[in-house]
C-alpha cells in the first residue's frame, strides 16, 4: 500500500516539479534544427543550438536564474526552408514582358542576427531576391534569358548572399526555374511559328526519305539491267559452243535442231505459212490474209516428204 501511494504521488508530483524547474530556467530541452536565444534586461546573454538537455546555469552562470523573471527565451528554427516566387515581371532587351519563377532555399545561421537585426527578415530576404532577380534579368536578350538560366541563377545568389548573411540567413541554392511569356498574342505567334517550322522539318524529312528510296531503286535497276545485258552478251557464245559440240557428235541432230529453232523463230514472228506439195510446178499466189498482216510468206514442203 505504501509503495502504491508513493507511486501515485511520484506520478503526480514529478511532472509538476519538472515543469516548475523548466519554468524557473533550471533546465531546457533543445530540439533538432533549433536554437534557443536567452536575453536578460534586454541584452543577449547567449545561445544554445545543440540538441539535447541543457542547464543554462552551466552556460551563463548564476544570472541564468534571473532570465525567467527579467529576461526571455527565444526559440528559432534552423531547419532548411524553401521558397518559390512566381511570375516576377521583367522586360527583355526587345521590350517583351516576361514572367520569371525563382526558387531558393535558406537556413538561419545566426539566430541573434535573425531575431534582432531585421524586424521581418523573411520578408526582407524575399524582397531582396525579387529585386536582385529583376535587376539581373531586365534588359537581357530573350535568347540569353531563356537559355542561360544557370549562370543567371549564380549571379542572383552572389548578389543576395551578403545582405542575407547580415540578417542571419545562409542562402542555399538559387535557381531560375521558369521563364515564360505573359503576352497571349505573342504566345500565339510563337506557337504558330513553331508549328510551321515543325511542318517544314517534317516535309523535308519525308522528301529526303523519298529521295533516298528513289536512289536505291535506281541503283538496283541499274545493277539488274547490267546483269541481264551481261547474260544476253554471253548467250550467243554459249549457244554456239553447244552447237559445235553437237555438230562434232552427229550432223543429223544438228540439222534437226536448227530446223526446230527456225520453226520457233517463225512462230514467234507470227508470219503466215503456206505449205505446197513438192510435186507442184504451178505458181501459187500467197494468201491475202498473210500480206494484210504484214508478215513474210513462208513456202515449205509438207512434213514427212
Domain boundaries, the chain: 9-77, 80-187
C-alpha cell at 288: 491475202
Name the E strands within 27-157: 28-30, 34-40, 43-48, 52-54, 71-77, 81-91, 97-108
C-alpha cell at 202: 517534317
For the stretch 88-137, pLDDT in tens is: 888 888 777 888 889 999 999 999 999 998 888 889 888 988 888 888 88
Cβ partners under 8 Å of residue 166, min gap 6: 113, 117
**Residue predicted with more confidence, 275 or 173:** 173
**Range in 77-81, 252-256, 276-280 the model is least confident about:** 276-280
Task: Grade residue 296 by pLDDT with cuts at 50, 70 and 90.
Answer: very low
Cell 523573411, located at residue? 122
For the stretch 17-49, pLDDT in tens is: 888 888 888 889 999 999 999 999 989 999 999
Q: What SS3 state is found at 241?
A: helix
Interatomic CA distance for residues 42 and 48, integer angstroms: 18
Residue 7: per-residue pLDDT: 77
Q: Count of alpha carbons within 13 Å of 11, Cβ hemisphere only?
A: 6
Residue 283: per-residue pLDDT: 54
Supply the CATH classification number for the domain 80-187: 3.30.479.30
For the entire predicted model, the pTM comes to 0.56
For the stretch 134-160, pLDDT in tens is: 888 888 887 788 788 888 888 888 888
Interatomic CA distance for residues 34 and 150, integer angstroms: 32
Amino acid at each position: 500500500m505504501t509503495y502504491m501511494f508513493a507511486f501515485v504521488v511520484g506520478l503526480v508530483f514529478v511532472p509538476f516539479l519538472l515543469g516548475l524547474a523548466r519554468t524557473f530556467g533550471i533546465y531546457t530541452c533543445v530540439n533538432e534544427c533549433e536554437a534557443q536565444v536567452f536575453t536578460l534586461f534586454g541584452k543577449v546573454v547567449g545561445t544554445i543550438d545543440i540538441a539535447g538537455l541543457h542547464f543554462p546555469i552551466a552556460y551563463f552562470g548564476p544570472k541564468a536564474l534571473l532570465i525567467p523573471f527579467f529576461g526571455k527565451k527565444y526559440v528559432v528554427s534552423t531547419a532548411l526552408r524553401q521558397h518559390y516566387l512566381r511570375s516576377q515581371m521583367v522586360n527583355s532587351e526587345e521590350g517583351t514582358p516576361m514572367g520569371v519563377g525563382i526558387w531558393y532555399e535558406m537556413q538561419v545561421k545566426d539566430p541573434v542576427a535573425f531575431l534582432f537585426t531585421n524586424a521581418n527578415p523573411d520578408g526582407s530576404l524575399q524582397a531582396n531576391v525579387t529585386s536582385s532577380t529583376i535587376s539581373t534579368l531586365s534588359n537581357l536578350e530573350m535568347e540569353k534569358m531563356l537559355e542561360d538560366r544557370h549562370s543567371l541563377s549564380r549571379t542572383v545568389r552572389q548578389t543576395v548572399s551578403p545582405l542575407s548573411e547580415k540578417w542571419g540567413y545562409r542562402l542555399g541554392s538559387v535557381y531560375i526555374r521558369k521563364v515564360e511569356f505573359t503576352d497571349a498574342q505573342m504566345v500565339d505567334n510563337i506557337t504558330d511559328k513553331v508549328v510551321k517550322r515543325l511542318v517544314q522539318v517534317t516535309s523535308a524529312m519525308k522528301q529526303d526519305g523519298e529521295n533516298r528510296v528513289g536512289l536505291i531503286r535506281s541503283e538496283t535497276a541499274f545493277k539488274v539491267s547490267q546483269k541481264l545485258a551481261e547474260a544476253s552478251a554471253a548467250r550467243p557464245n554459249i549457244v554456239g559452243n553447244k552447237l559445235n559440240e553437237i555438230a562434232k557428235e552427229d550432223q543429223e541432230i544438228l540439222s534437226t535442231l536448227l530446223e526446230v529453232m527456225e520453226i520457233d523463230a517463225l512462230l514467234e514472228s507470227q508470219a503466215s505459212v503456206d505449205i505446197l506439195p513438192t510435186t507442184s510446178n504451178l505458181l501459187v499466189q500467197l494468201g491475202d490474209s498473210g500480206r494484210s498482216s504484214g508478215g513474210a510468206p513462208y513456202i515449205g514442203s509438207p512434213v514427212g516428204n
